[in-house]
Structure 1
Amino acid sequence: MKLTKFTHACVRLEKDGHVLVIDPGGYSESAEALDGAHAVLITHEHPDHIDVAAVTSALKDNRELELFAPEGVAENLRREAPEAASRVHTVKPGTSFDAAGFGIRSFGGQHALIHPHVPVVANIGYLVEENVYHPGDSFIIPDGISVRTLLVPVHAPWNKVSEVVDFVIGVRAPRAFPIHDGLLNGTGLDLVEGHVKRLGARYGTEYARLSARESVDV
């Protein structure tokens, strides 16, 4: 399976001629990531994880495209693209389903706390093909499974370095790559990744940076 990282939290997975995109948001090259996609997974409603205009356009232009998202996101997209309503599916945590030939399992349920005055929204983490885990904006560790490839939210208004490291240690995937890095400059990214790489290695996780549009086989 080929994984391509786009800016911030968006990734594109390709397998056997099928394309799955996760979180094509406003900080990402969303239209490029969605080009030729067969399925889209959305973790939550924040605009850095879903570019509503780009996703709506893709749903209207590509009649093969199916989308899976928490209830609020799914309802909004059905209103924005009523002609594609039957291809927009609501996802709840703790379920399994097929998305364009990719086996998916869902975890979590809510976004990490930003501040008590900021409402908490629904957030779904997705495990793809019992391999790649995208947690969205949360540090929920999938229960009862072994993740092989972990996507790590390295920086956000809701996290700190110790929590990032603990998440990597808790999951203990053999490989890890960054997501949610669009708010960091090079200096900040070097600092955070240095801790993740050094401490994660003690627990068997090999962490490596992926730049925008860079691909790796997983």
Structure 2
Amino acid sequence: MRLTKFTHSCVRVEKEDSGRTRALVIDPGNFSEVEDALAGAEAFLVTHEHADHLDVDRAAAALAQDPGLSAWAPAASAQKLRDAAPGAEGRITTVEPGDRFRAAGFSVRTFGSQHALIHASIPVVANIGYLLDGEVFHPGDSFTVPPGLEVPTLLAPIHAPWSRVGEVLDFVIAVRARRAVPIHNALLNERGLGIVEGHVARVAAQYGTEYVRLAAGESLEL
């Protein structure tokens, strides 16, 4: 399995299946290289409706252009995609916590229910975390810990308006993954990124988790 990171929270996961490469994308948002990420992919998953995780116009354009592309998303995001890509309604599926399905040859499980709280004045939206083939977990904008599961690869949101560094550390410690790969980092400059990553790498190592930084466009073989 090959994991490629794009800017912010968008990732592409690929694997060989019956002699061909199959690809799935999570969170094609407006900070990310949506067209590059979705090129040749069979499916994309959306954790929640915020624009940095779902660029509705570009994702809908991809659905309209590629009849082999399908999408899974929470209800609000799924409806936005249906409205923007009316010819693709049959390829857009609403997901809820606790679902199990297959997408682009990957076994997918869903966890969590809502976005982390930003402030009491800001409405909380639905948020779904996705576990792919029991290997890669993308929590979206939440610190949801998949209960009772070993997660080999955690995609860790290391900076957000809704989190503190201490909460990121607690999340990485709680999941106890073999490796943690940073996502949700587009709002940090290099100095801020260095500070946060230094804390996460040091503390993660104390609990047996290797911190693996991927820059946008870099890949990791899992």
Scaled by the length of structure 1, the TM-score of the pair is: 0.99
Aligned partner of 1:195 in structure 2 is: 199
Query: Secondary structure in 1 aligned to 2:128?
Result: strand
Shift of 1:95: 1.2
Is 1:15 the equivalent of 2:15? yes
Q: How does 1:112-127 map to 2 (within 5 A)?
A: 112-127=116-131
Aligned partner of 2:151 in structure 1 is: 147
Deviations 1:156-183 (A, max 9, x none): 0000000000000000001111000000
Query: Secondary structure in 2 aligned to 1:63?
Result: coil
Shift of 1:79: 1.3
Shift of 1:134: 0.3
Query: What letter is aligned with 2:215?
Result: S
Report runs of 4+ in structure 1 exceeding 6 Å deviation.
none
Q: Partners of 1:77 and 1:161 in 2: how far apart?
A: 33
Count of residues in Structure 1 that have an aligned counterpart in Structure 2: 218
Task: Give structure 2 stretches of 5+ with no counterpart.
Answer: none
Aligned partner of 2:142 in structure 1 is: 138
Task: Give structure 1 stretches of 5+ with no counterpart.
Answer: none
Shift of 1:62: 0.5
Quick check: 2:42–2:69 contact (8 Å CA) kept in 1?
Answer: yes
Aligned partner of 2:95 in structure 1 is: 91
Is 1:172 the equivalent of 2:172? no
Query: Secondary structure in 2 aligned to 1:12?
Result: strand
How many percent of aligned residue pairs carry the same amino acid?
A: 59
Aligned partner of 1:77 in structure 2 is: 81
Shift of 1:208: 1.6
Query: What letter is aligned with 1:104?
Result: V
Deviations 1:42-76 (A, max 9, x none): 00000000111110010001101110000111111
Query: What letter is aligned with 1:158?
Result: W
Deviations 1:121-165 (A, max 9, x none): 000000001000000000000012110000000000000000000
Shift of 1:94: 0.9
Query: What letter is aligned with 1:29?
Result: E
Q: Partners of 2:126 and 2:78 in 1: how far apart?
A: 12
Correspondence for 1:185 among 183, 186, 189: 189
Q: Partners of 2:195 and 2:118 in 1: how far apart?
A: 22
